Amino acid sequence: MFENQSLMEKIISLAKQRGFIFQSSEIYGGLKSAYDYGPLGVELKRNLMNEWWRSIVHEREDTVGIDASIIMHPKVWQASGHLAGFSDPLVDCLISKERFRADKAPRPKSGDAIPITCTDKGQAKTYLDTIKKMFNIELRRNGKILEGLKVIDKTSFGFFNEDEKEAITTFQYKGYVSPTFGSPFLSDERQFNLMFRSQIGPVDILGDISTFAEQNRDIPREDFHKEIEKIIKKSAVYLRPETAQAMFVQFQNCQQSMSMKIPFGIAQMGKSFRNEITVEHFIFRSCEFEQMEMEFFVEPGTQKKWLKYWRDARIDWWKSLSNNPEKFRYRLHSKDELAHYADACYDIEYEYPWGFDELEGIASRTDYDLKKHAEYSGSKLSYFDQQKKDPETGKNGWRYTPYVIEPAAGATRGLLVYLLDAYHEEIVPDANGNESTRVVMKLHPKLSPIKVAVLPLVKKEGLPEIARDIVTKFFNNGINTRYDEQHSIGKRYRRHDEAGTPYCITIDGKTKENNTVTIRYRDSMQQERISIDKVIDVIRKKLTLS
């Protein structure tokens, strides 16, 4: 079915065909980087997020959960630094017009050649001419590659004749090249805010803007922009770019209402929005996505211990639901990678088809956020520990601003990880004994969208009635079950293999004779007969123990 496709292409095809993920607004041509979770996708996403909630909130005494508004007071984003700093440096390639993030671009070092790699010879000829016109140099074309450029030092690159050590011409080097073509001919960096802005309130600001524009036709452009920005800012609100900030803002309410003692955590999962410049790899990076985040408040000085604790706890959790635990690893951030609020950070990475990349960040966020929100709101966001002595005064009782460890995971990114992890192909004999490829999604039963499929062998002889009766019993026990009578039994098994359904219960002629059904196991394809009276208990036990 998915021959000759890369793993990513196979996942995208299967996700659509089996109802996991669809392109958003597909009948209108789709909206870039927006996705809809279909009948199986919504179940998988909920199961994954519920498992996270269970391990972080329900199974711990030291955490509580919240569900905050997506739109918060704009001052939240001023205090957190998102309004000022939540932006990426963007650069344009002057030759190809490619736009990219400077901080993610490849960085050739002194002495390295800078080949400009085009998609084909035709494009190489065009770029050769463009470079000649713009910079008065004629690079050497080798098929689709343009040669002759080399990094001289941190701030300059040059055009060199073959075998010559001295550059004919030198140019200013920005320290990186464009990711697709490797071009060093680049514009200056420009900042770009990643937050989605909207307006709150019934008054349409377009009226105020047009009145201002009519009355101020002659003012300088820069002043005009500043004034328009002021009008917009009066009612501007932002879609949250992370779920994290609500936990800082509600720190005091949660701590006091639930009498929480440090160390304790506040968790939240839900939608976040970022106007990403590069949307890539299917749902890996999209503009609307879901996060699962926790802020764990700790005593100052204990953050290193807790950072390691959460790093290990979180990677173990990801591994526990996977078939390939060796594909997860953690990586310590270097100093220059750290966000402005962090004194240390680990990324939990997964080995995607394009290599190891981020799945979750575990950041030691210091007391930055609570202090900032205290400063901007005027509220006291501190904690008083009666049992401890103040280290400065030596007196009983210590009031301090807690430090924070933040495990911040992507729920939709996690879903992609488990789709990749589950995808499995094997050659098995079909009904006629011929070799055929079986695609099976080896999802952990806790994540599987459908836990049990109940299949009458034929649509007659009372088998559908028996099957429906079993389905009702599963429903009454809260086990997500599907009744399925379409197509041959072999095709149904294959369909449920691709849906990741771990157990199929088949009702056949013998069921009526001796009150038994077969259970077919997705991964081994083995079947066993059990009494119809035991079927709920058997499946329930298997699901609990899995």
* 317 forms part of the interface with ligand GAP (CB under 6 A): no
Three-state secondary structure call for residue 150: strand
Among 173, 181, 289, 493, interactor with ligand GAP by CB under 6 A: 289
Nearest to 539 by CA among 489, 486, 480, 485: 480
* 449 forms part of the interface with ligand GAP (CB under 6 A): no
The 380-409 contact track toward ligand GAP, x by CB under 6 A, reads --------------------------x-xx
Q: How far is the CB of 70 from ligand GAP (least distance, A)?
A: 14
Is the CA virtual torsion 347, 352, 356, 357 positive or negative? Answer: negative
Among 63, 80, 286, 501, interactor with ligand GAP by CB under 6 A: 286
The 216-245 contact track toward ligand GAP, x by CB under 6 A, reads --------------------------x-x-
Among 360, 484, 497, 498, interactor with ligand GAP by CB under 6 A: 360
Beta strands in 402-468 (DSSP E): 403-410, 423-429, 435-441, 452-456
Is the CA virtual torsion 475, 481, 484, 490 positive or negative? Answer: negative
Among 158, 265, 410, 449, interactor with ligand GAP by CB under 6 A: 410
Query: 35 with 21: CB under 8 angstroms?
Result: yes
Among 18, 174, 285, 496, interactor with ligand GAP by CB under 6 A: 285
* 108 forms part of the interface with ligand GAP (CB under 6 A): no
> Which residue's CB is nearer to ligand GAP, number 404 or number 507?
404
* 349 forms part of the interface with ligand GAP (CB under 6 A): no
Among 47, 364, 412, 501, interactor with ligand GAP by CB under 6 A: 412
* 276 forms part of the interface with ligand GAP (CB under 6 A): yes
Distance of CA 421 to CAs 81, 134, 211, 328, 416, Å?
36, 48, 57, 11, 8
Using CA atoms, how far apart are residues 197 and 71, in angstroms rounded to an integer?
10
Structure tokens at 101: 């993030």
Q: How far is the CB of 308 from ligand GAP (least distance, A)?
A: 18
Question: Residue number with the shortest CB distance to ligand GAP?
Answer: 410
Is the CA virtual torsion 422, 427, 430, 436 positive or negative? Answer: positive
Q: How far is the CB of 85 from ligand GAP (least distance, A)?
A: 13
Q: How far is the CB of 517 from ligand GAP (least distance, A)?
A: 42
* Of 203-211, 287-295, 460-468, 511-519: span binding ligand GAP (CB under 6 A): 287-295
Query: Quick one: 185 exposed, middle or buried, by C-beta within 10 A (0-12, 13-18, 19+)?
Result: buried
Terminus-to-terminus CA distance in the chain, angstroms? 30
> Which residue's CB is nearer to ligand GAP, number 33 or number 506?
33
* 88 forms part of the interface with ligand GAP (CB under 6 A): no
* 517 forms part of the interface with ligand GAP (CB under 6 A): no
Distance of CA 240 to CAs 50, 76, 82, 231, 274, Å?
21, 10, 10, 21, 8
Using CA atoms, how far apart are residues 430 and 451, in angstroms rounded to an integer?
24
Decide the pairing of beta strands 423-429 and 328-332: unpaired
Q: How many residues bind ligand GAP (CB under 6 A)?
A: 19
Query: 499 with 522: CB under 8 angstroms?
Result: no
Q: How far is the CB of 282 from ligand GAP (least distance, A)?
A: 10
Q: Amino acid identity, residue 423? A: Y
* Of 103-111, 166-174, 281-289, 432-440: span binding ligand GAP (CB under 6 A): 281-289
Long-range Cβ contact pairs of 276-279 (< 8 A, separation 24 or more): 276/33, 276/194, 277/88, 277/90, 277/99, 277/100, 277/101, 277/192, 277/194, 278/100, 278/101, 278/104, 279/32, 279/33
> Which residue's CB is nearer to ligand GAP, number 71 or number 168?
71
* Of 310-318, 356-364, 496-504, 517-525: span binding ligand GAP (CB under 6 A): 356-364
Q: How far is the CB of 352 from ligand GAP (least distance, A)?
A: 12
Q: Using CB under 6 A as the criterion, which residues of the chain lie in contact with ligand GAP when the complex forms?
A: 242, 244, 274, 276, 285-286, 289, 291, 293, 358-361, 406, 408-410, 412-413
